[in-house]
Amino acid sequence: MKIAGIELKNPTILASGIMGTTGAALARMSRNGAGAVVTKSIGPVPKKGHNNPSMVELECGYINAMGLPNPSYSGFCEEIGIAKSKTDAPLIASIFGGNAAEFTEVAKGLLSSKPDCFELNVSCPHAEGYGASVGTDPDLVHEITAAVVDAVDVPVWVKLTPNVTDITSIGRAAESAGASAVVAINTVRGMAIDIHSGYPILGNRFGGLSGPAIKPVAVKCVYDLYEVLDVPVIGVGGITCWEDAIEMMLAGASAVEIGSAVHEDTQIFEKISKGIDTYLQKYGYSKAEDIAGLSHEMI
């Protein structure tokens, strides 16, 4: 299936972050059934991230404040090369920066490793000066997206933050700047406090909530974006089973990314892909694209 300029083996994609830090891990997720894989977000300079604890499990998912740790684009090209040599699944490079010039620098720096697509992380909620610091401003999102689109010869996706009043304004900005697709959503700002000590649990104090708790938020964002955009929407947030994936697709997602659920089951891509196929056969659809946005026709 071809979506937003790349050929996917199936509608499930490894989300940026989990299992995307090395070429070997990316290749492993592809072998486990992911239709495409997204790298950990890569920036212009090496970054160690926030102090531990940087991730904790809650009753409703996970909250993390990794702080975008990465070796920089010059230190990550080799990992992309390793992944590309071990799998035929499309590889999507997630990148971040503080402004259009930094995003463009990273994208150009990674081009030699031949990623199939770039995903612009303008939505991380816990890295000061990056991510959502720029992704809440439609003008900045337009400027960054346009700069990267002009600098590369592969599709550019933009990952959106839910921590805004109107996500559709950010989606429109990305689309008008030439994005091939938008990805919705990144994590929701959150916090956890130890009631015995009174201290915030995370080293950064606050972070981003992921997992089942944010799925209804993601579904609503995907639904709203599908109504106003012409480019495909990739749904992500709280998907743990094939039923969740179907719900996201009915809301308007052309494909889905899976992140937190990989903690529990690294075989989840194959399971969800098979579940989607069974659903399509049961209801008489020939391909996944047939159900994208179907819930909009039910009104």
Q: Which residues are catalytic?
A: 124
The whole-angstrom separation of Cα 144 and Cα 146 is: 6
Binding site members for FMN? 16, 40-41, 121, 159, 185, 211, 237-238, 259-260
Give Cβ neighbours of residue 27 (< 8 Å, ≥ 6 apart).
Answer: 82, 83, 86, 87
- Count CA within 13 A, CB hemisphere, residue 296: 18
DSSP symbols for 195-260: TTT-SBSSTTSEEEEESGGGHHHHHHHHHHHHHH-SS-EEEESS--SHHHHHHHHHHTEEEEEE-G
DSSP symbols for 40-84: PPB-SS-B--PPSP-EEEETTEEEE-----B--HHHHHHHHHHHH
| C-alpha closest to that of 180 among 132, 131, 120, 127 | 120
Binding site members? 16, 40-41, 64-68, 121, 159, 185-187, 211, 237-238, 259-260
Phi-psi map region of 33: left, alpha, beta (phi>0 left; psi -120 to 50 alpha): left
The label of the residue with tokens 């463009």 reads 104
Binding site members for substrate? 40, 64-68, 121, 186-187
The whole-angstrom separation of Cα 26 and Cα 91 is: 8
| C-alpha closest to that of 244 among 284, 207, 283, 271 | 271
